[in-house]
Amino acid sequence: METRIRPIGEDSLAEAKAVLEGGGVVAFPTETVYGLGGDARRDDAVRAIYAVKGRPADNPLIVHVHKDYDLGRLVFDDRPYAAKLRERFLPGPLTMVYSSRGAVSGVVSCGLQTLAVRVPAHPGAQRFLRYTDMPVAAPSANVSKHVSPVTAEHVFADLNGRIPLILDGGACEGGIESTVCDVTGEIPVILREGLVSREQIAETVGDCGLYVPKAGEQVRSPGMKYKHYAPACKTYLFEADRTAEAAEKLRQLRAAGLRACVLCESAAAPCFPAGSVLDLGKTPAEMAANLYILLRRAETVADALVAVRPKEEDGIMAGVQNRLGKACAGE
C-alpha cells in the first residue's frame, strides 16, 4: 500500500472520508499528537487500528468527535462537574471517561462499560471530524510502544506502507497526549496526566483525584501498564540533581565508542560538553512540545541517550515527567 502525505483540503478530506467509509484508517493531526482514526462504530475498522499499530488488545481507544457532536448519543453523563470541565477545557486536550451507551463498537473499550471521548481543538482535526461526520476511534499514530508522532513525517516513518493517507496539519503544538480523566465517580480522577493539569481541574471543580494503580489490582486505564514512548536507542535516566553522574555516564559511553547524547532542560545544558545536548527548552510548554521531537531525533543521531529529568514536577510537567520516565524505563 502506498502511503501519501497530503495537506488538509477538500480533496484530501474526501479521500479520508472514503477510506473511513470503507472500514480503513487514516492519520490526522490534533493539538496533542497525530491520531490514527477509524469509524468507531465498526468492529472491522477498530480492529484494523489495533492491527496497524500492533497495539495490545486490552488497551482501549479514545473516541474523537467534533465540537457540536451530541455527546448524549455516545455516553450517559450525569455528573454536574463534568459539564463544568467541558465548559472550561473543550475543545482541547482533555479526554473524559464516561459510562458508555454502547453506541460504538465494543472493541473500542475492550469490553469495559466506559467510553473515553475527546473533542480536539486543532482546526484540522475539527475539519476532519466534521467532514467525516462519525465518531472516530483514534490512538496515537505510531507503532505501539514507540515515541508518539508530532509531525506527519513521524507518522510516515512508523506507518509507511500500512495506511493509505496522512492528513498533514504541521507540527502538533501541545506535544504530549491528552489528560485522561474519569468522570463517572463523585469527583474527577485523572487516569493519565497530560496537557490539562490536575491543578487546573481541581481549581475548576473543587477537587481532583489521581489514580495510582496498586500492586495486583486490575488497572483502570489499561494503557498505563505498558512500556511506552520509547526511542530505539539505549536510554539512561537521571534525577534532576544528578547532572554530575549523567556527565560521567556520557563520558563512559563515548569512551566505549558509542554515539551518545544528553536530553535535558536548558538550565542543565551547561553541565555537559558543547554539542552533546538535545535541549528540551525552558518553559513547561516548550518542554512538552519538544519532548517527542527530541526523543525521535535521539534515536537517529545516537546509540545511547542520557536523559536528565527537568526540576519542575507540577502542572503539565507531571505529564512530561510521566512520558520521559516511560520512554527511558526498562521493560
Q: Which residues bind ligand AMP (CB under 6 A)?
A: 59-62, 97, 109, 112, 114-116, 139-140, 177, 180, 191-192, 220-224
- Residue 37 or 164: the one with the smaller Cβ distance to ligand AMP is 37
- Residue 222 or 319: the one with the smaller Cβ distance to ligand AMP is 222
For the bound state, the minimum distance from the C-beta of residue 62 to ligand AMP, rounded and expressed in Å, comes to: 5
Q: Rounded to a whole number, what is the distance in angstroms from the first to the last CA of the chain?
A: 32
8 Å CB contact between 21 and 39 = yes
8 Å CB contact between 322 and 193 = yes
For the bound state, the minimum distance from the C-beta of residue 135 to ligand AMP, rounded and expressed in Å, comes to: 13
| Nearest-CB residue for ligand AMP | 223
For the bound state, the minimum distance from the C-beta of residue 141 to Mg ion, rounded and expressed in Å, comes to: 9
Helix or strand run (H / E) with residue 213:
none
Q: What's the sign of the alpha-carbon dihedral 214, 219, 221, 223? A: positive
Which entry of Mg ion, ligand AMP, none binds 180, CB below 5 to 8 A by partner kind? ligand AMP
Compose the 89-128 pattern: x for residues touching Mg ion by CB under 5 A, - for all others.
----------------------------------------
> Cis peptide leading into 310, omega within 30 of 0?
no
Nearest to 316 by CA among 209, 193, 172, 164: 193
For the bound state, the minimum distance from the C-beta of residue 293 to Mg ion, rounded and expressed in Å, comes to: 16
The strand pair at 165-168 and 4-7 is best described as parallel
Per DSSP, helices labelled H in the chain are 10-21, 43-53, 80-89, 123-132, 152-159, 198-205, 243-255, 284-301, 317-328
Segment near Mg ion (CB under 5 A); pick from 96-104, 106-114, 137-145, 211-219: 137-145
For the bound state, the minimum distance from the C-beta of residue 80 to ligand AMP, rounded and expressed in Å, comes to: 21
Which entry of Mg ion, ligand AMP, none binds 24, CB below 5 to 8 A by partner kind? none
8 Å CB contact between 249 and 238 = yes
- Residue 176 or 308: the one with the smaller Cβ distance to Mg ion is 176
For the bound state, the minimum distance from the C-beta of residue 295 to ligand AMP, rounded and expressed in Å, comes to: 15
State how far the Cα of 164 lies from the Cα of 24, in Å rounded to an integer. 9
Chain centroid, CA 239 distance in Å: 23
For the bound state, the minimum distance from the C-beta of residue 110 to ligand AMP, rounded and expressed in Å, comes to: 8
Which entry of ligand AMP, Mg ion, none binds 277, CB below 5 to 8 A by partner kind? none
8 Å CB contact between 89 and 35 = no
Sheet strands (E) in 183-250: 189-192, 209-210, 234-238
Locate cell 521493560: which residue? Answer: 331
Nearest to 311 by CA among 238, 228, 236: 238
| Residue 140 within binding range of Mg ion, rule CB under 5 A | yes
- Residue 308 or 327: the one with the smaller Cβ distance to ligand AMP is 327
Nearest to 157 by CA among 47, 276, 295: 295
Which entry of Mg ion, ligand AMP, none binds 46, CB below 5 to 8 A by partner kind? none
DSSP letter at 150 equals -
- Residue 60 or 164: the one with the smaller Cβ distance to Mg ion is 60
Cell of 331: 521493560
- Residue 110 or 240: the one with the smaller Cβ distance to ligand AMP is 110
- Residue 229 or 272: the one with the smaller Cβ distance to ligand AMP is 229
For the bound state, the minimum distance from the C-beta of residue 160 to ligand AMP, rounded and expressed in Å, comes to: 20
Q: Please give the residue ranges that form the binding site for Mg ion (CB under 5 A).
A: 139-140
